């Protein structure tokens, strides 16, 4: 992927630093970021979303979810469990490695809740726009006809 240089735009814009930093970071692969664990992002309503992540083998105590400054971090670390006395694993196909997945959240998107069911971690998100940022309708007033207009006499 080509790298885009945003430095000329920094000179002529004010307040877009975060946007350019986000765009710049999209082009760079994150160190150590793999496709594990797989996840889905779905829209469940007009202003609600859900991230579903496949975390088979992890329990609620093995997973930590943190939302801080528009970044949602999900970390999973499974404690090693013994296989039992006298047994050994011949093939390990079920991943039990630690993971950390980060999601960039838009402004005013909050985590509503999380639940773990059937090996899937569901994180519900909701966008709540404050009243002062919502569009508002402006009434068009009419001219008050009852006000008298004072006419000035022209000087001759």
Whether pTM exceeds 0.75: no
Residues 5 and 75 in one domain: no
Examine residue 6 and state whether it is found in any structural domain, yes or no. Answer: yes
For residues 99-106, average pLDDT: 89
Residues 122 and 51 in one domain: yes
Domain count, the chain: 2
Which pLDDT band holds residue 107 (cuts at 50, 70, 90)? confident
Sign of CA dihedral 30, 36, 37, 38: positive
Whichever domain contains 75, its CATH number is 2.60.40.790
Examine residue 154 and state whether it is found in any structural domain, yes or no. Answer: no
d(CA 43, CA 47): 8
Examine residue 148 and state whether it is found in any structural domain, yes or no. Answer: no
For residues 117-144, average pLDDT: 86
Residues 51 and 123 in one domain: yes
Residues 97 and 21 in one domain: no
Examine residue 150 and state whether it is found in any structural domain, yes or no. Answer: no
Which pLDDT band holds residue 126 (cuts at 50, 70, 90)? very high
Examine residue 146 and state whether it is found in any structural domain, yes or no. Answer: no
Residues 106 and 61 in one domain: yes
In this predicted structure, the answer to whether residue 29 has a pLDDT above a threshold of 60 is no
Range with the poorest average pLDDT among 62-66, 103-107, 116-120, 140-144: 140-144
Domain range spanning residue 71? Answer: 32-80+90-129
Examine residue 72 and state whether it is found in any structural domain, yes or no. Answer: yes
Are 145 and 82 contacting, i.e. CB atoms less than 8 angstroms apart? Answer: no
Residues 25 and 96 in one domain: no
Residues 71 and 8 in one domain: no
Examine residue 58 and state whether it is found in any structural domain, yes or no. Answer: yes
Question: Which residues contact residue 101 at a Cβ distance below 8 angstroms, ignoring those fewer than 6 apart?
Answer: 37, 39, 53, 73, 74
Encoded tokens for 74: 């999900």
Q: What are phi and psi of 123, to 5 degrees?
A: -115, 120
């Amino acid at each position: 992927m080509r790298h885009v240089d945003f430095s000329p735009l920094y000179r002529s814009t004010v307040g877009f630093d975060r946007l350019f930093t986000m765009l710049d970071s999209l082009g760079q692969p994150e160190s150590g970021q793999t496709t594990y664990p797989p996840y889905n992002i779905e829209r469940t309503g007009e202003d609600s979303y859900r991230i579903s992540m496949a975390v088979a083998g992890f329990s609620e105590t093995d997973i930590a979810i943190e939302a801080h400054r528009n970044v949602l971090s999900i970390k999973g670390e499974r404690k090693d469990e013994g296989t039992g006395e006298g047994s050994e694993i011949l093939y390990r196909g079920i991943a039990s490695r630690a993971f950390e997945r980060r999601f960039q959240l838009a402004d005013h998107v909050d985590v509503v809740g999380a639940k773990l069911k059937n090996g899937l971690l569901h994180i519900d998100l909701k966008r709540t726009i404050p009243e002062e940022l919502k569009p508002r309708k402006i009434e068009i007033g009419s001219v008050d006809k009852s006000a008298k207009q004072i006419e000035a006499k022209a000087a001759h």
